[in-house]
Structure 1
Amino acid sequence: MIPIIGILAGSGILKGILAALTGFKILSVTSGTYVILNAVGDATFYFLPIVLGFTAAKKLGSDPIVLAIVGGILIYPQIVTLASKAGTASTNFLGIPTTLVLYTSSVFLIIVAAWLGKYVEQFLKKIIPTYIRSVFAPILEALILSLIIIIGVGPIITVLSKGLSNGLVAIYNFSPTLCGFVIGGVYQTMVIFGLHWGLIPIVINDIATNGHSYINSILSITMVAQGGAVLAVFLKTKNKHLKEMSLAAAVSAFCGVTEPALYGVNLKYKRVFVVASIASAIGGALTGFLRVDNYALSGALIGFPAFITPGVGIGSNFYGYLISHYATLVIAVGMVYLFGFTDKMLIKKNDPMDLNKVNVA
């Protein structure tokens, strides 16, 4: 992830600025200005499987071009269209039942494909004659890896994500506080494995049919917690390069895009992610207890207009948003600063990102 963290962070900040401009009605989502700027901010995330396929392949020893093509197959427009509709997501390949999944912005699966690619290449080189290898080996490798992901892994993710989302909704109906604690603690882990897609349709349906979503308020908390965690790293580290990356990732997370924080810092130094998830669980429980509601597909700190109740204005729900989100921010920063990170982690990992050697007392 390291080669693309910078562009991820910058894209996240741009998307946050656009969210603020549209939230305050300064910019219309139908305007040409918005469409172009949104394309610039969104392209990195939408095409993440392609970019990550290339970088992961270089790191894991498989063919970068082939893996970029595999990433492209996963987000091919017609596949995305079929996967986004319940009526066509269940299809078949040569008679094999297949459930299509939205892979845009996904991370885990393309890394798995890049890892498998090395072994698939070795196998193909053994069975394909040298004089036709350059033509047939790459396309067969792309085919095999794509089928493994689409036919093998995709349906498993679908079953797991639907089961998790239904279970979390049932928990919310039983106890909003407990649900907030559980979702707050596990949601960003779900994002890593692509399991969060089971919750997104529920949020969209809630807002479309009811005009609001309690679940989205809890998801919003997880962004603040991850941002707070990486902000604590920025405040504590003496490493110049890590400081720059952490600050950009924190701003991006507060704008609603956690990938730079997750993959650039928090997961790399695992204890940071664990402590951030604990803070997120506490914040989620507080959000559920206060029954904070969300009125648009927006969140984190930049998305505060989405918590202003339509027709009512600033009232108890918005105050609940302020309490839950900023309390989570303080908890995440404090816990990670005190327990989650130290510059000794860079030395123990012999971190290649440590371009400027830190002095640890």
Structure 2
Amino acid sequence: MADYTQLATDIIAGVGGAENVTKVIHCITRLRFTLVDKDRANAEVLQSLSAKGVPAITALYNANLNQYQVVIGQAVEDVYDEVVNQLGDSVVDADATNAAVAETGGVKGKGSKNPFVRAFQVVIGTITGSMIPIIGLLAAGGMINGLLNMFVKGNNIFNVIDPSSSTYIIVSTLAMTPFYFLPVLVGFSAAKQLAPKDSSLQFIAAAVGGFMINPGITNLVNAHVGTNAAGKNIVVEAAAPIAHLFGVTFNTSYFGIPVDLPSYAYTIFPIIVGVAIAKPINAWLKKVLPLALRPIFQPMITFFVTASIVLLLVGPVISTLSSGLSFLIDHALSFNLGIAGIIVGGLYQCLVIFGLHWLVVPLISQQIAATGESSLNMIASFTMLAQGAGALAVFFKSRKSDLKGLSLPAAISAFCGVTEPAMYGINLKYSRVFIMSSIGAAVGAGIGGFFNLHMYGFSGSLIGFPNFSATHVYNPTLHKMVEGNPNNFLIFWIATIACVVVSMVLVWMFGYKDTDVMGAGVEKKNAFKDAVSK
């Protein structure tokens, strides 16, 4: 764990000293100070700070909240703990901190007055807050799967592990487990996001997610191995449809009601909607049930009612919609992946500015879960790489020591798949850097698309190179190995070099010079900043 003692000391000095601080709380990415005199804070000093693990710091005053906010990023809790350690417990407001974390993980109380924008904020904020804690785990699973593919016989890299061996099956199962159990993980996370003070709802939501992927449910409609009266294993055929209506096949029933039971493994939207339904039910039961009955009957009723609604209505509708959206994206990409790579690659990081990239994450995970690869993630990977290359070009070209100290760690972070430090610390503040980097991303993704580059995992950018190593990979839907591009790894490195070189050359020539004046970035341009955590 990094030592943030000196950084905390510098931040306290930057906001006017300990005597100028009356309260400090934190949200997902920011320290929020209530100051005696806001004019004593020095934004330039704060923005010049950098420390290991905190490559980009931004400071701003929020007049609506009367808070001086210092954007830290992922290390905010560690820095907050050290700030409190130095200032003392008198500045702590635990309730305000919990509320701020909940709000910035989802939707703040003061959103847009436009009901359509407000509804959009709710959706984006909920998805964002639910997925953020799980992204690292999904990336870990993808990396394990990518490294495994490097050692599989037939992929012509290390040729060590037989793809039919128990070792391969165990490791590949381990790698895909976070994806398969997404309803459980997202259910727990979404409950914590939507009702941070109701800990009981988190476990109810996880149980609903577990119910959705329980083999007892999936075996109702899928072929599986069972046992006969003699105790011998037999193959039980998939259940025959019981009804058809408006093109929908109902494959089982619940209390005599026909049900279209899809596969919930690898999905997130049905459980998020389920949690949104469970929250008011659980809160209402807490109010009306006697205290003596509450420990048993509150979770029992919430669990049963929520699971039933998901089974009868939410799951089939949401799964059908998400599958349809994924189908459209898959076919749009397959029409001409090279052109799609150029267009999406050039514009993808614009989604990051508004936090809309979280809508893409479930589609990527669904592609990987269904086919073992994701062309959409291949494109996104080059956009991360390009933003890091742009920041690296600034590091080499700039003569400013403070900017060099900021741009190098930001570039390293982007090469590791986290682009926000490079985006918000460098590239968007010098907007031409962002534009030139995005052109480099379009070049890299376009080359990958035209040469049919496959990506077999979740982690992207430079650190995700193992996810491009396979020439064939296990397809979860077909339950067999499928052939890929025999030159996949070579194409990846060619596209990677092109992406980095083009990004750096363009930034060097047209994107940055030391006489440029740093802009305000996109903080005030983000229409959904109240709903989206950066």
Please give the TM-score of this superposition, normalised by the length of structure 1: 0.60
Secondary structure (helix, strand or coil) at the match of 2:259 reads strand
Shift of 1:188: 6.4
Shift of 1:322: 4.1
Give unmatched runs, 5+ long, in structure 1.
Answer: 205-215, 254-260, 355-361
Counterpart selection for 2:317 from 117, 142, 156: 156
Shift of 1:231: 5.3
Is the CA contact 1:158–1:198 (under 8 Å) kept in the aligned structure 2? no
Q: Rg bigger for which structure?
A: 2
Is the CA contact 1:298–1:306 (under 8 Å) kept in the aligned structure 2? no
Q: Which residue of 1 aligns with 2:301?
A: 140
Counterpart selection for 2:376 from 191, 196, 219: 219
Q: Which residue of 2 aligns with 1:98?
A: 259
Q: Percent same amino acid among aligned pairs?
A: 28
Q: Which residue of 2 aligns with 1:18?
A: 148
Q: Which residue of 2 aligns with 1:30?
A: 164
Q: How does 1:109-148 map to 2 (within 5 A)?
A: 109-148=270-309
Write the distance in 2 (CA, Å) between the matches of 1:135 and 1:287. Answer: 55
Write the distance in 2 (CA, Å) between the matches of 1:143 and 1:177. Answer: 48
Is the CA contact 1:228–1:333 (under 8 Å) kept in the aligned structure 2? no
Shift in CA distance, 177/17, structure 1 to aligned 2, threshold 3 Å = closer
Higher relative contact order (CA 8 A, sep 6+): 1
Write the distance in 1 (CA, Å) between the matches of 2:312 and 2:424. Answer: 30
Q: Which residue of 2 aligns with 1:212?
A: none
Please give the TM-score of this superposition, normalised by the length of structure 2: 0.44
Shift of 1:66: 0.9
Query: What is the root-mean-square deviation of aligned Cα atoms in Å?
Result: 5.6
Shift of 1:144: 2.7
Write the distance in 2 (CA, Å) between the matches of 1:172 and 1:3. Answer: 29
Q: How many aligned positions are there?
A: 317
Shift of 1:285: 4.4
Shift of 1:312: 10
Which one has the bigger strand percentage? 2
Shift of 1:183: 7.0
Shift of 1:166: 4.8
Shift of 1:177: 4.1
Write the distance in 2 (CA, Å) between the matches of 1:143 and 1:161. Answer: 25
Q: Which residue of 2 aligns with 1:64?
A: 202
The one-letter amino acid paired with 1:37 is V
Q: How does 1:1-361 map to 2 (within 5 A)?
A: 4=134, 7-22=137-152, 23=155, 24-61=158-195, 62=198, 63-80=201-218, 90-91=250-251, 92-168=253-329, 171=332, 175-180=336-341, 191-194=360-363, 197=366, 203=371, 218-225=375-382, 227-228=384-385, 247=413, 251=416, 283-288=444-449, 290-292=450-452, 294=454, 301-307=465-471, 314=487, 320-324=491-495, 326-328=497-499
Give unmatched runs, 5+ long, in structure 2.
Answer: 1-130, 224-237, 240-248, 396-402, 429-433, 459-463, 473-482, 513-518
Shift of 1:84: 7.0
Shift in CA distance, 302/170, structure 1 to aligned 2, threshold 3 Å = closer
Shift of 1:55: 3.7
Write the distance in 2 (CA, Å) between the matches of 1:233 and 1:318. Answer: 24
Shift of 1:282: 6.2
Which one has the bigger helix percentage? 1
Write the distance in 2 (CA, Å) between the matches of 1:110 and 1:13. Answer: 26
Shift in CA distance, 153/278, structure 1 to aligned 2, threshold 3 Å = farther
Q: Which residue of 2 aligns with 1:211?
A: none
